[in-house]
């Protein structure tokens, strides 16, 4: 409407003034309802062309956001394993801090495994204590066998010396008996040494390995017990949480609830614009929004970041050949907004839906001399045309409660 009125003032009005005062034609006489088009055709045509051009320029350089919202992140409350709930520590809509316990699963099986591992560790430690005595006994047996072996060798050596001097004194049967005694004593000595080495290896390697295995089993069971208590990872509010003792929880099929963090979505909005506004949207561009959660108020925002891709063009390979004609939905340009004054968005809950309007402002470029001459003039006019959209934004802020509460 404002564009049409402005266009009429510089097209239809001069045309009429020319007809009235130059040609002497009057409304109701020479200019009637039936010949108004013929008489004012230049003004009407110029007005239509100029109005369309102004609307195009204004909405191109001052685009409207088709959707503005305050997104927020949610965290699913999941356990590390499936199981039945033993205790519940919070209720629905409770505020929790990071590290607070939310609920605990039944740990009877894990506690039994931990007790078994503790008993196994005690058993191995007792065996290690007895191993010292076994080593001492085996060493004593080795010394005894060594003494018998050395005595048998001495006896054989003496009798062999006597037989060398006088073979009639020592018989061959006696020498064979002494040789067999040496071989037997040597075997007993080697066997006692093998027994000693086996006991030492058992005490030094096997039993410590068994103890380490039992300790690992105990650590695993204690970890399972610790992970059975589900805690909050961040500060936030627990919602959709109706868990009771005895309920079955499965991390894949049945989450326990949702945790809404306190630090997400505060003051940060996302806005979507039509793709034709892509060359106009710049970081730092001013955007005004008005939300149903905070009616009758226009909140100034700035574009902090722009998503570099259009979501409608994403592609994920599958087992079917994709046809580009199947993508009928046109994507939009996504930008991230931050408030100029942080306190202005404190009363807007995350998830609220708003409408917005962006305004081009190239004053810094003109001040720095990047835009000069005729381009500076046209740029100033285009930036100044944003007043029409500013008026429209405030009209929407006023009409939003009426349209929501009355006409809906």
Class for the domain spanning 75-105+229-261: mainly beta
DSSP structure string for 21-40: IIS---BTTTB-TTTHHHHT
What is the number of residues in the chain? 408
State the Cα–Cα distance between residues 345 and 71, nearest whole angstrom.
Answer: 13
Query: In this predicted structure, what is the pLDDT of residue 167?
Result: 60
* CA–CA gap between residue 273 and residue 357 (Å, rounded): 10
Of the candidates 131, 259, 153, 261, the one whose C-alpha atom is nearest the C-alpha of residue 201 is 131
Q: How far apart are CA 90 and CA 81, in angstroms?
A: 20
What's the chain's average pLDDT?
83
Residue 40 burial (10 A CB sphere; 0-12, 13-18, 19+): buried
pLDDT digits (tens, 9 = 90+) for 337-383: 988 888 888 888 888 888 899 998 887 778 778 778 888 888 888 88
Domain 62-72+265-313+330-408 has CATH 3.80.10.10: no
Q: Where are the domains of the chain?
A: 1-60, 62-72+265-313+330-408, 75-105+229-261, 108-227
Q: Do domains 62-72+265-313+330-408 and 75-105+229-261 have the same CATH topology?
A: no
- Listed as own residue / partner, the contacts of 323-326 with beta carbons closer than 8 Å and 24 or more positions apart are none
Using one digit for the tens of pLDDT, what is the confidence trace for 227-274? 888 888 888 889 888 888 888 888 887 788 888 888 765 668 899 998
Tell me how crowded residue 111 is: count the other CB atoms within 10 A of its CB. Answer: 15
SS3 (DSSP) at 165: helix
Q: If we measure between CA atoms, which residue out of 81, 400, 351, 117 comes closest to residue 230?
A: 81
d(CA 346, CA 291): 12
The predicted-structure confidence for 134-184, as pLDDT tens digits, reads as follows 777 777 777 777 777 777 777 767 767 766 666 666 666 766 776 777 777
């Amino acid at each position: 409407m404002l564009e049409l009125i402005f266009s009429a003032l510089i097209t239809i009005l001069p045309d009429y003034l020319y007809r009235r005062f130059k040609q002497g034609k009057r409304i109701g006489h020479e200019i009637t309802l039936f010949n108004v088009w013929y008489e004012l055709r230049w003004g009407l045509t110029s007005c239509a062309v100029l109005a369309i051009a102004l609307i195009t320029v204004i909405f191109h350089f001052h685009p409207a956001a088709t959707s503005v919202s305050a997104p927020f992140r949610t965290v699913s409350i999941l356990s590390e394993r499936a199981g039945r709930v033993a205790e519940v520590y919070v209720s629905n809509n409770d505020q929790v801090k990071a590290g607070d316990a939310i609920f605990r699963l039944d740990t009877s099986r894990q506690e039994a495994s931990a007790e078994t591992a503790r008993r196994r560790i005690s058993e191995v430690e007792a065996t290690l204590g007895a191993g010292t005595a076994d080593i001492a006994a085996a060493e004593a047996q080795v010394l005894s066998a060594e003494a018998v072996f050395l005595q048998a060798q001495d006896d054989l050596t003496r009798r062999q010396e006597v037989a060398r001097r006088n073979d009639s004194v020592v018989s061959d049967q006696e020498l064979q008996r002494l040789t067999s005694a040496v071989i037997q004593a040597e075997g007993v000595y080697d066997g006692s040494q093998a027994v000693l080495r086996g006991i030492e290896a058992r005490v030094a390697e096997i039993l410590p390995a068994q103890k380490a295995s039992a300790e690992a089993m105990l650590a695993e069971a204690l970890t399972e017990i610790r992970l059975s208590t589900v805690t909050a990872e961040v500060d936030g509010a627990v919602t959709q949480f109706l868990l009771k003792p005895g309920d079955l929880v499965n991390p894949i099929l049945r989450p326990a609830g949702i945790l809404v963090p306190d630090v997400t979505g505060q003051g940060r909005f996302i806005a979507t614009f039509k793709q034709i506004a892509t060359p106009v949207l710049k970081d730092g561009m001013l955007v005004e929004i008005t939300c149903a959660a905070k009616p009758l108020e226009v909140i100034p925002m700035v574009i902090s970041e722009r998503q570099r891709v259009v979501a409608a063009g994403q592609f994920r390979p599958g087992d079917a050949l994709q046809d580009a004609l199947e993508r009928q939905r046109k994507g939009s340009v996504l930008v991230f907004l931050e408030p100029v004054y942080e306190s202005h968005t404190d009363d807007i809950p995350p998830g609220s839906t708003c409408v917005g309007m962006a305004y081009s402002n190239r004053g810094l470029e003109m001040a720095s001399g990047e835009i000069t001459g005729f381009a500076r003039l046209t740029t100033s006019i285009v930036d100044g045309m944003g007043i029409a959209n500013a008026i429209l934004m405030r009209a929407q802020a006023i009409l939003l409660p009426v349209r929501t509460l009355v006409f809906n």
